[in-house]
Amino acid sequence: MSIQEVSGEFAYIAENYKEIVNNVENAKAKYRSPEEKIQIMAVTKTVEPEKVNFAVSQGITLLGENRVQEYLSKKDSYSPEAQVHMIGHLQTNKVKYIINDVSMIQSVDSFKLATEINRLALKNNKTMDILVEVNVGSEDSKSGVPAAEALSLAEQISLLENVRIRGLMAIPPINCSEALFEKMQTLYEELSSKRLSGMSCDVLSMGMSGDYETAIKYGSNLIRIGTKLFGARKYLEV
């Protein structure tokens, strides 16, 4: 398939991305300082590599992977121009498969997981950037540490030498009150003020296709967009 044909087939992705960028800029103008940077992540769950690479060609520089097995099946086809973060629930026995391929693990919700990441990072002579995932809505269906325990978990993790805490990640419930977004903003500010050793707190990953403008209002500087960019997901068993 020629470049022209690819561009035509995936033109909707380009249009969606332009709309997202425009909405982000409008939200930033309304709620944030002009110099603040807000990253747009493409969430690639069930999305074919060809579509992902087209999104990268339009300006996406950050990809979010939910499942280790799916990522391993697609990673060699991805454009090297974009970084990849693991954003889905991660089992300790799967860390070894991604430790050298992703630039950040956003879904760290236990000291056990952080310890395994630290062990493998040390083994591979690297420091892994992580986010502490917070279950801000206390939902049984979602992973993440309870909000009341997030700071103490971060303090524990900060003692590990080969992981670096970069901030917090959350998935607020659909159609929830803005109070939960504000709660995450407050928690992020509290974590930043602690100045823990081995921490560079500069990422609040919050906001998805249905709520990213609200997330920006409450301090998010990394939004994770799937459906609004690529269209409705095909739910495949991977």
C-alpha torsion angle, residues 219, 130, 85, 98 (rounded to 10): -170
d(CA 10, CA 82): 18
Residue 235 lies in a domain: no
Parent domain of 27 = 3-230
Place of tokens 């969606």: 16
Q: Which residue has the higher pLDDT, 213 or 196?
A: 213
> Which of the listed ranges 64-78, 138-152, 184-198 does the model predict with the highest average pLDDT?
64-78
**pLDDT for the residue numbered 4:** 52
Q: Is the pLDDT of residue 86 over 70?
A: yes
Q: Is the pLDDT of residue 40 over 90?
A: yes
**pLDDT for the residue numbered 198:** 82
Residue 236 lies in a domain: no
Q: Is the pLDDT of residue 162 over 80?
A: yes
Q: Is the pLDDT of residue 170 over 90?
A: yes
Place of tokens 């700071």: 151
Question: Model confidence over 138-151: pLDDT tens digits?
Answer: 988 899 999 999 99
The answer to whether the CB of 142 falls within 8 A of the CB of 118 is no
> Domain holding 60: CATH number?
3.20.20.10
Residue 142 lies in a domain: yes
Residue 193 lies in a domain: yes
The pTM score is 0.93
pLDDT band at 60 (very low <50, low <70, confident <90, very high): very high
Residue 192 lies in a domain: yes
Residue 238 lies in a domain: no
**pLDDT for the residue numbered 6:** 55
- In total, how many domains does the chain have? 1
**pLDDT for the residue numbered 42:** 98
Q: What is the mean pLDDT of residues 15-38?
A: 96
**pLDDT for the residue numbered 128:** 98
> Which is it for strands 199-205 and 145-146: parallel, antiparallel or unpaired?
unpaired
Question: Model confidence over 88-100: pLDDT tens digits?
Answer: 999 999 999 999 9
Secondary structure in 3-state letters for the chain: CCHHHHHHHCHHHHHHHHHHHHHHHHHHHHHCCCCCCCEEEEECCCCCHHHHHHHHHCCCCEEEECCHHHHHHHHHHCCCCCEEEECCCCCHHHHHHHCCCCCEEEEECCHHHHHHHHHHHHHCCCCEEEEEEEECCCCCCCCCEEHHHHHHHHHHHCCCCCEEEEEEEECCCCCCCHHHHHHHHHHHHHHHHHCCCCEEEEEEECCCCCCHHHHHHCCCCEEEECHHHHCCCCCCCC
Residue 215 lies in a domain: yes
Question: Model confidence over 203-225: pLDDT tens digits?
Answer: 999 999 999 999 999 999 999 99
